[in-house]
A and B are shown apart, each in its own frame.
Chain A
Amino acid sequence: MILAVLVALGLIVADHRHHHLGTLRATLAVMVYPLQVLADLPVRLARNAQGRLADERMLRDQNEALRRENLVLNARLQQLHALESENMRLRDLLGSSFRIGERVLIAEILAVDLDPGRRQVVLNKGSSSGVFVGQPVLDANAVMGQVVRTNPVSSTVLLITDSEHALPVEVNRNGLRSIARGTGVAQDLELLHIPKNADVRVGDLLVTSGMGGRFPRGYPVARVTGVRHDPDDPFTVVTAEPTARLDRSREVLLVWTLSPESPGGASGEALGDASAGAGASGSGGPDGEER
Protein backbone atom coordinates (compact mmCIF):
# COMPACT_ATOMS: atom_id res chain seq x y z
CA MET A 1 0.00 0.00 0.00
CA ILE A 2 2.77 2.43 1.01
CA LEU A 3 4.70 1.30 -2.05
CA ALA A 4 1.75 1.85 -4.38
CA VAL A 5 1.11 5.31 -2.96
CA LEU A 6 4.77 6.27 -3.27
CA VAL A 7 4.94 5.00 -6.86
CA ALA A 8 1.72 6.86 -7.71
CA LEU A 9 3.10 10.08 -6.23
CA GLY A 10 6.34 9.54 -8.11
CA LEU A 11 4.43 9.08 -11.35
CA ILE A 12 2.40 12.24 -10.78
CA VAL A 13 5.55 14.30 -10.18
CA ALA A 14 7.38 12.72 -13.13
CA ASP A 15 4.45 13.30 -15.48
CA HIS A 16 3.69 16.81 -14.28
CA ARG A 17 7.18 18.22 -13.90
CA HIS A 18 9.36 16.38 -16.36
CA HIS A 19 7.09 14.78 -18.96
CA HIS A 20 9.25 11.65 -18.92
CA LEU A 21 6.50 9.10 -19.30
CA GLY A 22 5.68 9.47 -22.98
CA THR A 23 6.43 5.89 -23.89
CA LEU A 24 4.58 4.34 -20.93
CA ARG A 25 1.56 6.51 -21.62
CA ALA A 26 1.67 5.78 -25.35
CA THR A 27 1.85 2.03 -24.74
CA LEU A 28 -1.11 2.09 -22.37
CA ALA A 29 -3.00 4.40 -24.73
CA VAL A 30 -2.64 1.91 -27.58
CA MET A 31 -4.10 -0.73 -25.26
CA VAL A 32 -7.01 1.52 -24.36
CA TYR A 33 -7.69 2.56 -27.98
CA PRO A 34 -9.99 -0.41 -28.85
CA LEU A 35 -12.11 0.50 -25.85
CA GLN A 36 -12.38 4.09 -27.03
CA VAL A 37 -13.40 2.96 -30.50
CA LEU A 38 -16.01 0.72 -28.88
CA ALA A 39 -17.38 3.63 -26.85
CA ASP A 40 -17.54 5.66 -30.04
CA LEU A 41 -19.56 2.92 -31.76
CA PRO A 42 -23.11 3.84 -30.60
CA VAL A 43 -22.69 7.39 -31.90
CA ARG A 44 -21.28 6.11 -35.18
CA LEU A 45 -24.13 3.62 -35.59
CA ALA A 46 -26.70 6.30 -34.86
CA ARG A 47 -25.18 8.50 -37.56
CA ASN A 48 -25.16 5.60 -40.01
CA ALA A 49 -28.81 4.84 -39.30
CA GLN A 50 -29.63 8.50 -39.75
CA GLY A 51 -27.92 8.40 -43.13
CA ARG A 52 -29.87 5.33 -44.20
CA LEU A 53 -33.20 6.70 -43.07
CA ALA A 54 -32.76 10.01 -44.89
CA ASP A 55 -35.25 10.14 -47.73
CA GLU A 56 -34.50 11.00 -51.31
CA ARG A 57 -35.86 14.52 -51.30
CA MET A 58 -33.81 15.50 -48.29
CA LEU A 59 -30.69 14.13 -49.93
CA ARG A 60 -31.45 15.97 -53.15
CA ASP A 61 -31.98 19.23 -51.25
CA GLN A 62 -28.75 18.71 -49.38
CA ASN A 63 -26.94 17.91 -52.60
CA GLU A 64 -28.29 21.06 -54.18
CA ALA A 65 -27.22 23.19 -51.23
CA LEU A 66 -23.74 21.69 -51.22
CA ARG A 67 -23.38 22.25 -54.96
CA ARG A 68 -24.31 25.90 -54.53
CA GLU A 69 -21.90 26.31 -51.64
CA ASN A 70 -19.16 24.68 -53.68
CA LEU A 71 -19.76 27.12 -56.50
CA VAL A 72 -19.50 30.10 -54.16
CA LEU A 73 -16.36 28.71 -52.53
CA ASN A 74 -14.75 28.04 -55.89
CA ALA A 75 -15.46 31.57 -57.00
CA ARG A 76 -13.86 32.88 -53.83
CA LEU A 77 -10.90 30.57 -54.34
CA GLN A 78 -10.20 32.10 -57.75
CA GLN A 79 -10.12 35.49 -56.13
CA LEU A 80 -7.84 34.14 -53.43
CA HIS A 81 -5.36 32.82 -55.98
CA ALA A 82 -5.23 36.21 -57.64
CA LEU A 83 -4.75 37.91 -54.26
CA GLU A 84 -2.06 35.45 -53.24
CA SER A 85 -0.02 36.04 -56.36
CA GLU A 86 -0.47 39.77 -55.98
CA ASN A 87 0.67 39.51 -52.37
CA MET A 88 3.74 37.54 -53.47
CA ARG A 89 4.53 40.17 -56.11
CA LEU A 90 4.30 42.97 -53.59
CA ARG A 91 6.47 41.06 -51.13
CA ASP A 92 9.00 40.50 -53.89
CA LEU A 93 9.07 44.24 -54.42
CA LEU A 94 9.71 44.71 -50.71
CA GLY A 95 12.44 42.10 -50.84
CA SER A 96 10.97 39.91 -48.11
CA SER A 97 9.83 36.89 -49.99
CA PHE A 98 8.37 33.95 -48.12
CA ARG A 99 5.99 31.13 -48.79
CA ILE A 100 3.46 29.52 -46.59
CA GLY A 101 3.20 25.88 -47.55
CA GLU A 102 0.56 23.78 -45.89
CA ARG A 103 -0.42 20.17 -45.80
CA VAL A 104 -3.70 19.07 -44.28
CA LEU A 105 -4.94 15.77 -42.92
CA ILE A 106 -8.55 15.10 -42.01
CA ALA A 107 -9.10 13.29 -38.71
CA GLU A 108 -12.21 12.32 -36.82
CA ILE A 109 -13.04 13.04 -33.20
CA LEU A 110 -13.88 9.93 -31.19
CA ALA A 111 -17.01 10.39 -29.12
CA VAL A 112 -15.27 9.60 -25.85
CA ASP A 113 -15.72 11.42 -22.56
CA LEU A 114 -12.49 12.41 -20.87
CA ASP A 115 -11.95 14.12 -17.53
CA PRO A 116 -14.95 16.51 -17.31
CA GLY A 117 -12.83 19.26 -15.72
CA ARG A 118 -10.64 19.64 -18.80
CA ARG A 119 -11.54 20.40 -22.39
CA GLN A 120 -9.81 17.72 -24.43
CA VAL A 121 -10.82 15.42 -27.29
CA VAL A 122 -9.35 12.25 -28.80
CA LEU A 123 -8.62 12.00 -32.54
CA ASN A 124 -8.41 8.79 -34.54
CA LYS A 125 -5.07 9.72 -36.15
CA GLY A 126 -1.77 9.31 -34.35
CA SER A 127 1.97 9.59 -34.82
CA SER A 128 1.92 6.88 -37.49
CA SER A 129 0.05 9.41 -39.67
CA GLY A 130 2.67 12.04 -38.87
CA VAL A 131 0.76 13.85 -36.12
CA PHE A 132 3.12 15.60 -33.70
CA VAL A 133 2.80 17.32 -30.33
CA GLY A 134 2.02 21.01 -30.72
CA GLN A 135 0.33 20.60 -34.09
CA PRO A 136 -2.54 23.04 -34.73
CA VAL A 137 -6.02 21.57 -35.15
CA LEU A 138 -8.71 23.42 -37.14
CA ASP A 139 -12.25 22.79 -38.19
CA ALA A 140 -13.98 24.23 -41.26
CA ASN A 141 -14.55 27.57 -39.51
CA ALA A 142 -11.66 28.31 -37.20
CA VAL A 143 -8.91 27.16 -34.85
CA MET A 144 -9.94 24.41 -32.43
CA GLY A 145 -6.83 23.64 -30.42
CA GLN A 146 -3.51 21.87 -30.49
CA VAL A 147 -2.24 18.32 -30.11
CA VAL A 148 -0.81 17.66 -26.64
CA ARG A 149 -0.21 13.89 -26.69
CA THR A 150 0.26 11.35 -29.44
CA ASN A 151 0.60 7.60 -29.72
CA PRO A 152 0.78 5.51 -32.90
CA VAL A 153 -2.99 5.21 -33.36
CA SER A 154 -4.60 8.21 -31.70
CA SER A 155 -3.84 11.65 -30.31
CA THR A 156 -5.23 13.99 -27.65
CA VAL A 157 -6.13 17.59 -28.48
CA LEU A 158 -6.32 20.43 -25.97
CA LEU A 159 -9.15 22.77 -27.04
CA ILE A 160 -8.67 26.54 -26.96
CA THR A 161 -11.35 26.86 -24.27
CA ASP A 162 -9.39 24.78 -21.72
CA SER A 163 -8.33 26.99 -18.84
CA GLU A 164 -4.67 26.01 -19.31
CA HIS A 165 -4.66 27.04 -22.97
CA ALA A 166 -3.72 30.46 -24.29
CA LEU A 167 -2.99 31.52 -27.84
CA PRO A 168 -1.69 34.75 -29.36
CA VAL A 169 -4.35 36.56 -31.40
CA GLU A 170 -4.86 39.92 -33.05
CA VAL A 171 -7.97 41.93 -33.82
CA ASN A 172 -8.58 41.52 -37.53
CA ARG A 173 -9.85 45.09 -37.93
CA ASN A 174 -6.82 46.97 -36.61
CA GLY A 175 -4.10 44.44 -35.80
CA LEU A 176 -4.23 44.98 -32.03
CA ARG A 177 -2.35 42.04 -30.47
CA SER A 178 -3.43 40.14 -27.39
CA ILE A 179 -3.58 36.68 -25.84
CA ALA A 180 -6.81 34.69 -25.77
CA ARG A 181 -7.06 32.44 -22.75
CA GLY A 182 -9.60 29.66 -22.25
CA THR A 183 -11.86 29.79 -19.22
CA GLY A 184 -12.73 26.09 -18.94
CA VAL A 185 -16.32 26.94 -19.87
CA ALA A 186 -17.51 25.90 -23.32
CA GLN A 187 -17.85 28.79 -25.75
CA ASP A 188 -15.93 31.32 -23.68
CA LEU A 189 -12.52 32.92 -24.10
CA GLU A 190 -11.05 36.01 -22.44
CA LEU A 191 -8.45 38.45 -23.72
CA LEU A 192 -5.61 39.27 -21.37
CA HIS A 193 -4.05 42.66 -20.70
CA ILE A 194 -6.15 44.91 -22.95
CA PRO A 195 -5.47 48.54 -21.98
CA LYS A 196 -8.36 50.84 -21.06
CA ASN A 197 -8.11 52.93 -24.22
CA ALA A 198 -7.73 50.02 -26.65
CA ASP A 199 -9.94 49.94 -29.70
CA VAL A 200 -11.92 46.73 -29.27
CA ARG A 201 -15.61 46.51 -30.07
CA VAL A 202 -18.26 43.84 -29.74
CA GLY A 203 -18.36 41.82 -32.97
CA ASP A 204 -14.65 42.19 -33.79
CA LEU A 205 -13.11 39.10 -35.34
CA LEU A 206 -9.98 37.76 -33.64
CA VAL A 207 -7.46 35.89 -35.81
CA THR A 208 -4.26 34.06 -34.91
CA SER A 209 -1.28 36.39 -34.97
CA GLY A 210 1.31 33.66 -35.46
CA MET A 211 3.45 35.22 -32.71
CA GLY A 212 3.96 32.01 -30.75
CA GLY A 213 5.22 30.27 -33.87
CA ARG A 214 2.84 27.41 -33.19
CA PHE A 215 -0.35 28.42 -34.99
CA PRO A 216 -0.18 29.63 -38.59
CA ARG A 217 -1.05 33.31 -39.03
CA GLY A 218 -4.43 34.62 -40.06
CA TYR A 219 -6.87 31.87 -39.08
CA PRO A 220 -10.07 33.07 -37.38
CA VAL A 221 -10.34 32.19 -33.68
CA ALA A 222 -13.23 33.99 -32.03
CA ARG A 223 -15.65 36.89 -32.14
CA VAL A 224 -15.75 39.48 -29.34
CA THR A 225 -18.99 39.17 -27.37
CA GLY A 226 -18.45 41.59 -24.53
CA VAL A 227 -16.29 44.59 -23.59
CA ARG A 228 -16.52 45.80 -19.99
CA HIS A 229 -14.70 48.56 -18.12
CA ASP A 230 -14.41 47.78 -14.42
CA PRO A 231 -13.37 50.88 -12.44
CA ASP A 232 -11.14 48.84 -10.11
CA ASP A 233 -9.51 46.79 -12.86
CA PRO A 234 -6.50 48.31 -14.67
CA PHE A 235 -7.42 46.42 -17.86
CA THR A 236 -10.51 46.16 -20.01
CA VAL A 237 -12.38 42.89 -19.57
CA VAL A 238 -12.98 41.40 -23.03
CA THR A 239 -14.79 38.11 -23.59
CA ALA A 240 -15.04 36.29 -26.91
CA GLU A 241 -16.81 33.28 -28.34
CA PRO A 242 -14.85 30.79 -30.47
CA THR A 243 -16.03 30.63 -34.07
CA ALA A 244 -15.05 26.95 -34.28
CA ARG A 245 -17.87 24.59 -33.44
CA LEU A 246 -15.94 23.05 -30.59
CA ASP A 247 -18.67 20.78 -29.30
CA ARG A 248 -20.34 19.90 -32.59
CA SER A 249 -17.64 19.27 -35.19
CA ARG A 250 -16.74 15.70 -35.88
CA GLU A 251 -14.20 16.06 -38.67
CA VAL A 252 -11.19 18.22 -37.94
CA LEU A 253 -8.15 19.31 -39.97
CA LEU A 254 -4.60 18.70 -38.81
CA VAL A 255 -2.25 21.24 -40.37
CA TRP A 256 1.42 21.01 -41.20
CA THR A 257 2.64 24.51 -41.75
CA LEU A 258 5.74 26.42 -42.68
CA SER A 259 5.75 29.48 -40.50
CA PRO A 260 7.58 32.51 -41.87
CA GLU A 261 9.31 32.94 -38.49
CA SER A 262 11.09 29.58 -38.76
CA PRO A 263 14.88 29.89 -38.98
CA GLY A 264 16.53 29.74 -42.39
CA GLY A 265 18.13 26.34 -41.90
CA ALA A 266 14.87 24.57 -41.31
CA SER A 267 12.91 26.49 -43.91
CA GLY A 268 14.48 24.77 -46.91
CA GLU A 269 13.62 21.39 -45.51
CA ALA A 270 10.13 22.49 -44.55
CA LEU A 271 9.61 23.97 -48.01
CA GLY A 272 10.50 20.62 -49.50
CA ASP A 273 8.00 19.02 -47.16
CA ALA A 274 5.36 21.52 -48.14
CA SER A 275 5.88 20.92 -51.83
CA ALA A 276 5.73 17.18 -51.15
CA GLY A 277 2.40 17.85 -49.50
CA ALA A 278 1.31 19.78 -52.56
CA GLY A 279 2.38 16.85 -54.69
CA ALA A 280 0.32 14.51 -52.56
CA SER A 281 -2.70 16.71 -53.14
CA GLY A 282 -2.81 15.67 -56.77
CA SER A 283 -2.75 11.99 -55.92
CA GLY A 284 -4.97 12.36 -52.89
CA GLY A 285 -7.44 9.92 -54.34
CA PRO A 286 -11.20 9.85 -54.13
CA ASP A 287 -11.34 9.14 -50.41
CA GLY A 288 -10.09 12.66 -49.72
CA GLU A 289 -7.97 11.60 -46.77
CA GLU A 290 -5.09 13.85 -47.71
CA ARG A 291 -5.29 17.11 -49.48
Chain B
Amino acid sequence: MSEILARGTWLVLLTLVTALFLTILPLPPMAEDLRPQWVAMTLIFWALALPERVGVFWAFGVGLVLDVATGTLLGHHALGLSVVAYVAVELHPRVRIFSLWQQALFVWILLILERLLALWVLGATGQPMPSLTYWGATFAGLLLWPWLQVVLRDLARRAGAV
Protein backbone atom coordinates (compact mmCIF):
# COMPACT_ATOMS: atom_id res chain seq x y z
CA MET B 1 0.00 0.00 0.00
CA SER B 2 2.69 2.45 1.00
CA GLU B 3 4.60 1.58 -2.15
CA ILE B 4 1.62 2.56 -4.28
CA LEU B 5 1.32 5.78 -2.30
CA ALA B 6 4.98 6.55 -2.89
CA ARG B 7 4.65 5.80 -6.58
CA GLY B 8 1.68 8.12 -6.86
CA THR B 9 3.61 10.90 -5.15
CA TRP B 10 6.51 10.44 -7.55
CA LEU B 11 4.17 10.67 -10.51
CA VAL B 12 2.60 13.87 -9.17
CA LEU B 13 6.04 15.38 -8.65
CA LEU B 14 7.20 14.33 -12.10
CA THR B 15 4.17 15.79 -13.90
CA LEU B 16 4.41 19.04 -11.93
CA VAL B 17 8.10 19.41 -12.77
CA THR B 18 7.27 18.76 -16.42
CA ALA B 19 4.57 21.43 -16.26
CA LEU B 20 7.09 23.85 -14.74
CA PHE B 21 9.53 23.02 -17.51
CA LEU B 22 6.87 23.73 -20.16
CA THR B 23 6.13 27.04 -18.46
CA ILE B 24 9.66 28.41 -18.83
CA LEU B 25 10.44 26.78 -22.20
CA PRO B 26 11.21 29.59 -24.65
CA LEU B 27 8.48 30.16 -27.24
CA PRO B 28 8.26 32.60 -30.15
CA PRO B 29 6.67 35.87 -28.97
CA MET B 30 3.49 35.24 -30.97
CA ALA B 31 2.77 31.95 -29.21
CA GLU B 32 3.73 33.29 -25.80
CA ASP B 33 0.31 34.80 -25.13
CA LEU B 34 -1.33 31.43 -25.77
CA ARG B 35 0.94 29.45 -23.44
CA PRO B 36 -1.49 27.48 -21.25
CA GLN B 37 -1.17 27.59 -17.48
CA TRP B 38 0.46 24.18 -17.38
CA VAL B 39 1.12 24.13 -13.65
CA ALA B 40 -2.41 25.20 -12.74
CA MET B 41 -3.95 22.60 -15.05
CA THR B 42 -1.79 19.74 -13.80
CA LEU B 43 -2.54 20.75 -10.23
CA ILE B 44 -6.29 20.82 -10.89
CA PHE B 45 -6.10 17.34 -12.41
CA TRP B 46 -4.38 15.90 -9.35
CA ALA B 47 -6.67 17.74 -6.96
CA LEU B 48 -9.64 16.13 -8.74
CA ALA B 49 -8.04 12.68 -9.06
CA LEU B 50 -6.34 12.38 -5.67
CA PRO B 51 -8.10 14.95 -3.46
CA GLU B 52 -7.02 13.19 -0.27
CA ARG B 53 -3.33 13.57 -1.16
CA VAL B 54 -2.89 16.60 -3.41
CA GLY B 55 -4.41 19.74 -1.99
CA VAL B 56 -3.80 23.26 -0.86
CA PHE B 57 -0.32 22.70 0.52
CA TRP B 58 0.98 21.08 -2.65
CA ALA B 59 -0.48 24.03 -4.54
CA PHE B 60 1.24 26.47 -2.23
CA GLY B 61 4.63 24.78 -2.57
CA VAL B 62 4.42 24.50 -6.34
CA GLY B 63 3.24 28.11 -6.53
CA LEU B 64 6.34 29.28 -4.65
CA VAL B 65 8.64 27.37 -6.99
CA LEU B 66 6.75 28.80 -9.97
CA ASP B 67 7.20 32.31 -8.56
CA VAL B 68 10.94 31.83 -8.32
CA ALA B 69 11.20 30.22 -11.76
CA THR B 70 9.36 33.05 -13.50
CA GLY B 71 10.83 35.87 -11.43
CA THR B 72 7.59 37.20 -9.93
CA LEU B 73 6.93 38.27 -6.33
CA LEU B 74 7.05 35.35 -3.90
CA GLY B 75 3.47 34.28 -3.23
CA HIS B 76 2.11 35.73 -6.47
CA HIS B 77 1.21 32.36 -8.00
CA ALA B 78 1.08 30.54 -4.67
CA LEU B 79 -2.01 32.55 -3.70
CA GLY B 80 -4.00 31.79 -6.85
CA LEU B 81 -3.00 28.13 -7.00
CA SER B 82 -3.92 27.56 -3.34
CA VAL B 83 -7.41 28.96 -3.85
CA VAL B 84 -7.88 26.99 -7.08
CA ALA B 85 -6.72 23.74 -5.46
CA TYR B 86 -9.08 24.33 -2.53
CA VAL B 87 -12.08 24.78 -4.82
CA ALA B 88 -11.11 21.72 -6.87
CA VAL B 89 -10.74 19.52 -3.78
CA GLU B 90 -14.03 20.74 -2.31
CA LEU B 91 -16.03 20.13 -5.48
CA HIS B 92 -14.32 16.97 -6.73
CA PRO B 93 -17.26 14.53 -6.16
CA ARG B 94 -19.49 16.69 -8.31
CA VAL B 95 -16.94 17.46 -11.04
CA ARG B 96 -15.79 13.86 -11.46
CA ILE B 97 -19.15 12.78 -12.92
CA PHE B 98 -19.28 15.68 -15.40
CA SER B 99 -18.78 14.93 -19.09
CA LEU B 100 -15.43 15.87 -20.56
CA TRP B 101 -16.52 19.26 -21.96
CA GLN B 102 -18.47 20.20 -18.87
CA GLN B 103 -15.34 19.45 -16.91
CA ALA B 104 -13.32 21.60 -19.29
CA LEU B 105 -15.66 24.52 -18.65
CA PHE B 106 -15.30 24.04 -14.89
CA VAL B 107 -11.52 24.00 -15.26
CA TRP B 108 -11.70 27.10 -17.42
CA ILE B 109 -13.45 28.99 -14.65
CA LEU B 110 -10.75 27.87 -12.21
CA LEU B 111 -8.04 29.03 -14.62
CA ILE B 112 -9.72 32.42 -14.94
CA LEU B 113 -9.93 32.60 -11.14
CA GLU B 114 -6.18 31.95 -10.92
CA ARG B 115 -5.40 34.67 -13.46
CA LEU B 116 -7.79 37.06 -11.73
CA LEU B 117 -6.02 36.61 -8.40
CA ALA B 118 -2.64 37.08 -10.11
CA LEU B 119 -3.96 40.25 -11.75
CA TRP B 120 -5.16 41.51 -8.40
CA VAL B 121 -1.69 40.99 -6.93
CA LEU B 122 -0.20 42.92 -9.86
CA GLY B 123 -2.62 45.77 -9.23
CA ALA B 124 -2.15 45.78 -5.46
CA THR B 125 1.63 45.98 -5.73
CA GLY B 126 1.55 48.65 -8.43
CA GLN B 127 3.17 46.59 -11.15
CA PRO B 128 2.46 47.20 -14.83
CA MET B 129 -0.89 45.87 -16.04
CA PRO B 130 -0.84 43.31 -18.85
CA SER B 131 -2.96 43.79 -21.96
CA LEU B 132 -6.09 41.84 -22.88
CA THR B 133 -4.01 39.00 -24.37
CA TYR B 134 -3.35 38.09 -20.72
CA TRP B 135 -6.58 36.08 -20.81
CA GLY B 136 -5.61 34.18 -23.98
CA ALA B 137 -3.91 31.51 -21.88
CA THR B 138 -7.21 30.52 -20.26
CA PHE B 139 -8.77 29.78 -23.65
CA ALA B 140 -5.74 27.69 -24.61
CA GLY B 141 -6.26 25.85 -21.33
CA LEU B 142 -9.96 25.29 -22.08
CA LEU B 143 -9.16 23.69 -25.45
CA LEU B 144 -6.29 21.66 -24.07
CA TRP B 145 -7.96 20.28 -20.95
CA PRO B 146 -9.71 17.19 -22.46
CA TRP B 147 -6.44 15.97 -24.00
CA LEU B 148 -4.38 16.70 -20.91
CA GLN B 149 -6.98 14.96 -18.77
CA VAL B 150 -6.92 11.80 -20.91
CA VAL B 151 -3.12 11.67 -20.99
CA LEU B 152 -2.69 12.24 -17.26
CA ARG B 153 -5.45 9.76 -16.37
CA ASP B 154 -3.78 7.14 -18.52
CA LEU B 155 -0.44 7.80 -16.85
CA ALA B 156 -1.99 7.63 -13.40
CA ARG B 157 -3.76 4.33 -14.14
CA ARG B 158 -0.63 2.76 -15.52
CA ALA B 159 1.40 3.82 -12.51
CA GLY B 160 -1.36 2.50 -10.26
CA ALA B 161 -1.79 5.80 -8.50
CA VAL B 162 -5.57 5.92 -8.86
Contacts and interface: CB of A to CB of B under 8 A. Distances in A.
B74 interface: yes
Interface stretch (A112-120, A126-134, A191-199, A237-245): A112-120
A11 interface: yes
Among A4, A10, A163, A164, chain B packs the most CB atoms within 10 A around the CB of A4
Interface in A147-190: 149, 156, 163-164, 184
Contacts of A112: 24, 26
Given A113-B23, A164-B128, 6 more contacts: A1-B83, A5-B83, A11-B73, A12-B75, A24-B74, A117-B130
Interface string B10-50: 00000001001101111100001101000000000000000
Contacts of B82: 1, 4-5, 8
Nearest to B87: A1
Q: Which 6 A-B pairs have the closest CB atoms?
A: A11-B75, A8-B79, A4-B82, A12-B75, A1-B86, A28-B68
Interface SS majority for chain B: helix
Interface of B: 17, 20-21, 23-27, 32-33, 35, 56-57, 59-60, 63-65, 68-76, 78-79, 82-83, 86, 121-122, 124-125, 127-130, 134
A266 interface: no
18 contacts: A1-B82, A1-B86, A4-B82, A7-B75, A8-B82, A11-B74, A12-B75, A12-B76, A28-B65, A28-B68, A29-B68, A32-B20, A35-B20, A39-B24, A113-B23, A113-B26, A114-B70, A117-B128
B42 to A, nearest CB: 15
A120 B73 CA distance: 13
A149 B71 contact: yes
B64 to A, nearest CB: 6
Contact of B79 (A5, A39, A113): A5
Contact of A7 (B60, B72, B76): B60
Interface residues of A, number: 41
Contacts of B57: 4
Nearest to A186: B29
Given A113-B27, A116-B130, A35 B69 contact: yes
Interface of A: 1, 4-5, 7-12, 14-16, 21, 24-25, 28-29, 31-32, 35-36, 38-40, 42-43, 111-118, 120, 122, 149, 156, 163-164, 184
Contacts of B69: 32, 35-36
Contacts of B26: 39-40, 42-43, 111-113
B24 A12 contact: no
Contact of B125 (A16, A115, A149, A163): A16
A35 B64 CA distance: 15
Among A1, A35, A40, A112, the one with the most B-chain Cβ atoms within 10 Å of its Cβ is A1
B71 A156 contact: yes
Contacts of B76: 12
Contact of B24 (A9, A29, A31, A35): A35
A164 B127 CA distance: 8
Contact of A15 (B23, B33, B73, B122): B73
Contacts of B70: 113-115
Which residue, B21, B26, B56, has most C-beta atoms of chain A within 10 A?
B26
A143 B27 CA distance: 25
A39 B27 CA distance: 11
From A24, A31, A38, A112, residue with most partner B Cβ within 10 Å: A112
B78 A113 contact: no
Nearest to B76: A12
A32 B68 contact: yes
A122 B56 CA distance: 30
Given A4-B82, A38-B21, A149-B71, A12 B56 contact: no
B137 to A, nearest CB: 9
Contacts of B79: 5, 8-9, 12
Contact of A118 (B56, B78, B121, B128): B128
